[in-house]
Chains A and B, each alone.
Chain A
Amino acid sequence: MRALTWHGKHDVRVDTVPDPEIVNPRDAIIKITATAICGSDLHLYDSVIPAMHRGDILGHEFMGEVVEVGRGSTSLRVGQKVVVPFVIACGQCFFCGKEQYSACDNSNPADKSDASEVAYGYPAAGLFGYSHLTGGYAGGQAEYARIPYSDFGPIVVPDGIEDERVLFLSDIFPTGWMAAENAGIEPGDTVVVWGCGPVGLFTIKSAIHMGAARVIAIDHHPRRLALAKQNGAEVLNYHEVKVLEALKEMTAGIGPDACIDAVGMEAHGFAPDNVIDAVKQETKLGTDRQHVLREAIMACRKGGRISMPGVYGGIGDKLPIGAFMQKGLTLKTGQTHVQKYLPKLLELVMDGQIDTTDLISHRLPLEEAATAYKNFHDNPNEWTKVVLKP
């Protein structure tokens, strides 16, 4: 089959690779009908997530048609159309029992989980196409994919629905939804979202759906800010205003109730702390650039909440821990417990309550995936979201 494979920093290629096979009883194979490039794929493209091997197939936002099921996969049938959560979860361990699916204890193979156990204290769950820290599973920017625990994770979508309307159930819609849920939104709340990429936009949509009185979105790309505005947010361009001052002024000194970091470890901008972090990241003295998290902690009102859907992978420093403690803030974060949200979010899509397609800027064949990565990386203003068709 054809698949987008990783070969190093800024080097991804569409190669011919072996087809995946049913290996375990609960596996299924799907023929992929639509897949997307995620902002977090750019962390792999930039080579700031460790434990990537040459030839690894990327992609964790994908859907398709079931073409083969293992004898232990009792709930799926050949021919069904499914969306696949990017988090691989067994459904039977302690964590899955608590609906903390992205903490699944069984999905990261035993020979792959030593590294994350050292890095994080406990082994991480398996994710599709996202380094050998999280299992080394082949991703979905390909013609076919093997789905472990296929009787538990994938959600069957109704016949005839356009792929684009449900594709983002795989990651960015539930990720934005959980980010808003983690912000503990109450009536009258002002919610600030840093980053108007796909996750930021779904966070804005979700926060408004959950009843936020006001959503303020921060970015510097005009087209991304326009999308945020179109979705009901007030916008701030951090190249034009001082963010902390603007937020304080807009909330008449109270400050925002909830601050959401939808940027993560590769924050842009030229604030002094961020420049130092960028140098450290480049020289491997540190791994993460957490400018946005620092700003969110400083901006948040006393007793407020921080939600952090943005991806971090390693070590950061210079967090304003005093501000965090003295203001009595709460922080919630984590990889998304996708499976927990799917039935509810599919219903919202089917009811037409959330527009899931307005952020798509480009639709390309899988064969052009390498160019798509380059453009999504180099020109984020025009390239807001790419959907690939195998």
Chain B
Amino acid sequence: MQTEPRSTDADMASTGFLNDDVHEGDHASSSIQAVMINRPRSELYAFWREFRNLPLFMANVRSVSSDGRDWVIAGPGGMDVELETEIVEDRPGEKIAWRSTEAADVDHEGWVEFRDNAFGRGTEVRVMISYDPLAGAVGKLVAKVMQREPRIQARRELRRFKQLMETGEVSTSQAPGAAPRG
């Protein structure tokens, strides 16, 4: 495990990176993103823990099995990629952590954590994603699936999760139905 902060990028200046004791992410490319959601912690945890809900806000995820083990991710050209993960930690209302199994094509791990904001502003949700980009065709595919950087992917997915939890829907202006273009 690395002991130095991986980046001085302000986006990554989370406590997880500044404090060596809680430094996380075993892989080359890691990111922690945080978002405040104006809904109760238990509700957010329960929605996430129902893993079949994840494709509702994870843009490239086609399906997740109810035990969180089997993921199907949409690849380019209609090709699907299957990922197998195991849940390594599940603290109700607080945290869910996962890690790829030996069988997975992509070596990755991640967690999501839910904390009550101390000042009554809702629930603080933090997501950590860490993976090793691979060389070759599979690596390119993974990079595409991950929208090139886990940081961007995590940020967008947290935004969608927040939208869905607070407003009941994921904002969109996608053409042609939502924003017709000439």
Contacts and interface: CB of A to CB of B under 8 A. Distances in A.
29 contacts: A3-B182, A17-B181, A18-B177, A20-B180, A23-B172, A24-B172, A26-B168, A55-B182, A57-B180, A57-B182, A72-B168, A92-B166, A93-B166, A94-B36, A106-B163, A106-B167, A108-B171, A109-B174, A110-B159, A110-B171, A111-B59, A126-B171, A126-B173, A136-B179, A138-B173, A138-B179, A138-B180, A138-B181, A146-B179
Interface string B33-55: 00010100000000000000000
A35 interface: no
A20 B159 CA distance: 24
The 8 closest A-B pairs by CB, nearest first: A15-B182, A55-B181, A21-B177, A5-B182, A110-B159, A138-B179, A18-B180, A55-B182
B135 to A, nearest CB: 27
Interface string A92-115: 111001000000011111111110
Contacts of A56: 179, 181
Interface string A57-89: 100000000000000100000000000000000
B64 to A, nearest CB: 19
A3 B172 CA distance: 20
B162 interface: yes
Interface size of B as a range: 20 to 34
Contacts of A19: 180
A23 B181 contact: no
Interface in A3-28: 3, 5, 13, 15-21, 23-26
A105 B171 contact: no
A58 B63 CA distance: 37
B28 interface: no
Given A93-B38, A138-B180, A26 B122 contact: no
Given A24-B171, A72-B168, A94-B36, 12 more contacts: A3-B180, A21-B178, A24-B170, A25-B168, A93-B162, A110-B155, A111-B59, A113-B159, A123-B159, A138-B178, A146-B177, A146-B179
Interface of B: 36, 38, 59, 121-122, 152, 155-157, 159-160, 162-163, 166-182
Interface in A119-178: 123, 126, 135-138, 146, 148-149
A17 B180 contact: yes
Nearest to B172: A109
B177 A20 contact: yes
Nearest to A139: B179
Given A72-B169, A94-B121, A114-B152, A57 B177 contact: no
Nearest to A57: B180
A146 B176 CA distance: 11
A53 B179 CA distance: 12
Interface residues of A, number: 46
A217 interface: no
B19 to A, nearest CB: 24
Given A90-B167, A106-B163, A106-B166, A135 B180 contact: no
B169 A111 contact: no
Contacts of B175: 18
Most A CB within 10 A of own CB, among B162, B163, B170: B163
Nearest to A5: B182
Given A110-B160, A136-B173, A26 B180 contact: no
Contacts of A138: 173, 178-181
Contacts of A97: 38
Contacts of B160: 110
A385 B152 CA distance: 42
Contacts of A112: 173
B182 A17 contact: yes
B38 A92 contact: yes
Nearest to A14: B182
Nearest to A117: B155
Contacts of B178: 20-21, 23, 137-138, 146
